[in-house]
Structure 1
Amino acid sequence: MKYLIVEDERFAYLELKRMMAKLCPDYILVGRTESVADTILFLENNTVDFMLMDIRLADGNCFEIFDQIQISIPVILTTAYDEHAIRAFKLNSIDYLLKPVEEDELSFALKKLQQQHSAKESTFDYKKIEEALLGSQKKNRFLVQMGDTYNHININDIAFFYSEEKVVFLHTISDKKFVIDYTLTQLESQLDKKTFFRVSRNCVANITSIKKISKYFNSRLKLTFQPECPHEILVSRERVADFLKWVDGWN
């Protein structure tokens, strides 16, 4: 079996490599990636049977990879998250290793992986594990800079987030905007999905800021915000069903 190690910490990578060579000498390590971007590029051009993957990477968390490309191979996650999150992994039949990784734990995870591979089972639901991990870790405020000072904006005071020329802005209900150091993809995983929704490629909206939903040509929807959004926001035909379900409270 061929595998990839996704780990941005050099020592952690070397330890995984050493233990894998000892436990499964016939397995082939095809490479190492350290970031979301590098992993996506690698997987688009290479094939592996499974991955050992750290959740927190150099440029974000591993779930951004699953959001951008289709992954059907098993992943053994390595994480420094607490036991509550780890129990959630177990309930969703996901293999995991709590850092620092112990050899016997890696051995157990590999045996489970081998059994599922032999049985040709496919029980890995990455969306469920993302929700289980991040569900209890939603942001309730954001740090913003105002001149030479810093302040915080409570989540209930945010109308929407939007991107413009690769810059992401936080727009408040009081019609103020601030630059923040997050991507919209990162925000999707950090915000309460009952309140916020990725309504378009360049906007994540608070349900309370949407004042009008209008039908638009080509089966799309046009949104009107209060306060007004600097850009016209259209819900694509592909997003309409999920968007309306969210508005109807089924998220």
Structure 2
Amino acid sequence: MNILIIEDETPAFKKLFAYVTESLKSDFEYTHTRSVNESISYLEKMSYDLILSDIKIIGGMSFDIFNAIEVSTPIIFCTAFDEHLLQAFKTNGIAYILKPYAQKDIDEALNKYQSLFHKKFNEKDFFQQFKVVIEQKNSYKKRFAIKKPEGIKLVNTEDVCYIEACGDFCKFKDTNAELHSISKSIGLLCSELNPEHFFRINRSYIVNITFIEKIVSYSKNRLSIKVKGLSNSLITSTATTKDFRQWIDR
């Protein structure tokens, strides 16, 4: 089996390669490309059984590759962006995996490839898969209903600068510098919020990437973060710093 892996970020490539190796449990040949031009060059002179591709890569988007050269190879898209679902559907895509993905996501995609190999591609089933992904993406919390003496105030999650754990409840500040409290644990809130925008940097704080004003090194394995609405800086834990660096660089 010969696979083309199109991924411009080295950590993401290593993670994907490890998952594919674990899933296939057999030897396979592969080519790793990082840019539009490099991918076109290899596809012009080599044939592949399967392509795994990010969407936003060096030199443009992977769709630029498939527009420039005719490709009949099945494609599994692995990306952090869900807005390209329909465009991917117009190519030879057979699966659309959203980052951050896990081993089971790669297993399911490769199992689908195996089941579809030598079979007619079922567009109805594939579109249904996209529908499930969209519904999952849209299931994240969109607003908080905060009880106030004067009534219930609605705060959109996109306007939340940060969330701080305070025992069994949490408090957060919005873009108007207004402080609110909510009767949920920080762990539960972390699972309800969209990980594209929110990250739990330590045991006590979740930050919204939109309102991060400054990031500097604090120690070898920790970062100091200045967030809008807070006078003091927040410090990442040693356990989260590596993942946080990857999160902000996506």
TM-score w.r.t. the length of structure 1 is 0.44
Name the TM-score, length of structure 2 as normaliser. 0.45
